[in-house]
Amino acid sequence: MKEFTIVGGGIAGASIAYHLAKKGQHVTVYDRFDQGQATFASAGIICPWTSQRRNKKWYRLVQEGARYYPAFIKDLEQTTNQPTGYKQNGAICLFKDDRIQQLAYERISAKQEASPEMGSVTKMAKKDVKALHPYLTDYYPAVFVEGGGQIDGESLLTSLKKGVLAHGGNWLVEDVDPRECQGTVIYTAGAWAGEFHDQPTIRHQRAELLHFQLDEDADAMGTPVVMGLGPMYIVGTGAGNSFAIGTTHEKTEEFSVAPSAENKAYLHHEAERYFPDVNIDDHKVSVGLRPFTRDSLPFIGYNDDNIFVVNGLGSTGLTAGPVIGREVAAFLSGEETTLNLADYGYYE
């Protein structure tokens, strides 16, 4: 049994801790739960197949991440006897017009053979969208991806923490310096990584989500996630008619998580565009800090201080987080991995 100290308890640290503890390793997590923790703020969409990003290493990671989710959730829920909020109601992807819908349909369905877990991919005429999402606009044609899913970041972290403890690990709410920790040190500090090391360089984006309620009965948790135009998406967030729309993307060096009135007005306007026939009651704006590397590929490997760093999970960290945990735990336990982790252990 080896000793591991994990500094940072977002999805990266929590998932690695869970998988190591499951193998019987001795694990202690230190997390100070900064305001702006990305995992807590996340929208939790698991649908990597619709992205237009071409980076193959990134795609291998998120594809394997989405593939692993159902088995991972089953195992975690059995261990903790607690729901994680995972649901797989599919994803409705909206497009500006029929031509772009057709191109997107061809691009997405071409990935099906290599990713059968994405389920069926179907074109939807504008008039059919409301059958799946009653109050959503019928202004745009869509593609429906059956395997699209969503996880609640907060519930997932609660379950992972419980799972770590159930497998004999420790979880402490503490601010620590990774250079002063015992055993093999795994540094998963998200946006705050620059406090203790500068390789790889981690930058962050401030991302805001507007949480709102529709002034009509709606089954938010039963509806598919919606990938709107550009970077906009809509997810159900709770029982009844509660949804969230986002996000904004602001590169910043600041760590403030105070919501901005300007962004709130912009997101409210976007919500009205997607739900044109119902009143929208704003509830709150949540702010998270997404950690990025320079080329947006996660970093997984040792740094110059011989600390194992996992960071830069970017905008798909909840998708990749569980499989990163599985792979890093296998690698650090001297076992074979499914992914080639050397692909992610680069320096700029």
Ligand X SMILES: Cc1cc2nc3c(=O)[nH]c(=O)nc-3n(C[C@H](O)[C@H](O)[C@H](O)COP(=O)(O)OP(=O)(O)OC[C@H]3O[C@@H](n4cnc5c(N)ncnc54)[C@H](O)[C@@H]3O)c2cc1C
Which residues of this chain interact with ligand X, rule CB under 6 A?
7-13, 30-34, 37-39, 41-45, 175-176, 188-192, 207, 209, 246-247, 288, 290-291, 311, 313-319
Nearest distance, CB of residue 32 and ligand X, angstroms: 4
Q: Of 299, 220, 293, 278, nearest to 43 (Cα)?
A: 220
- The helix or strand, by DSSP H or E, that contains position 151, with its residue range, turns out to be none
Residues whose CB is less than 8 angstroms from the CB of residue 207 and which lie 6 or more positions away in sequence, other chains included:
41, 246, 247, 248, 249, 250, 287, 288, 289, 290, 315
Inter-residue contact 60 to 115 (CB < 8 Å): no
Nearest distance, CB of residue 205 and ligand X, angstroms: 8
CB nearer to ligand X: pick between 106 and 295: 295
Backbone angles phi, psi at 320, to 5 degrees: -85, -20
Nearest distance, CB of residue 290 and ligand X, angstroms: 5
CB nearer to ligand X: pick between 104 and 313: 313
Residue closest to ligand X (Cβ): 317
CB nearer to ligand X: pick between 39 and 80: 39
Nearest distance, CB of residue 181 and ligand X, angstroms: 10
CB nearer to ligand X: pick between 108 and 225: 225
CB nearer to ligand X: pick between 113 and 208: 208
Nearest distance, CB of residue 313 and ligand X, angstroms: 4
Q: Alpha helices, DSSP H only, in the chain?
A: 11-22, 38-41, 56-80, 98-109, 129-132, 153-166, 261-274, 317-332
Nearest distance, CB of residue 194 and ligand X, angstroms: 10
Burial class (CB in 10 A: 0-12, 13-18, 19+), 102: middle
CB nearer to ligand X: pick between 218 and 285: 285
Length of the chain: 348
Whole-angstrom distance, CA of residue 61 vs CA of residue 48? 10
CB nearer to ligand X: pick between 133 and 197: 197
Residues whose CB is less than 8 angstroms from the CB of residue 91 and which lie 6 or more positions away in sequence, other chains included:
45, 47, 50, 144, 145, 148, 224, 225, 226, 227
Nearest distance, CB of residue 268 and ligand X, angstroms: 16
Residues whose CB is less than 8 angstroms from the CB of residue 209 and which lie 6 or more positions away in sequence, other chains included:
41, 43, 244, 245, 246, 247, 267, 285, 286, 287, 288
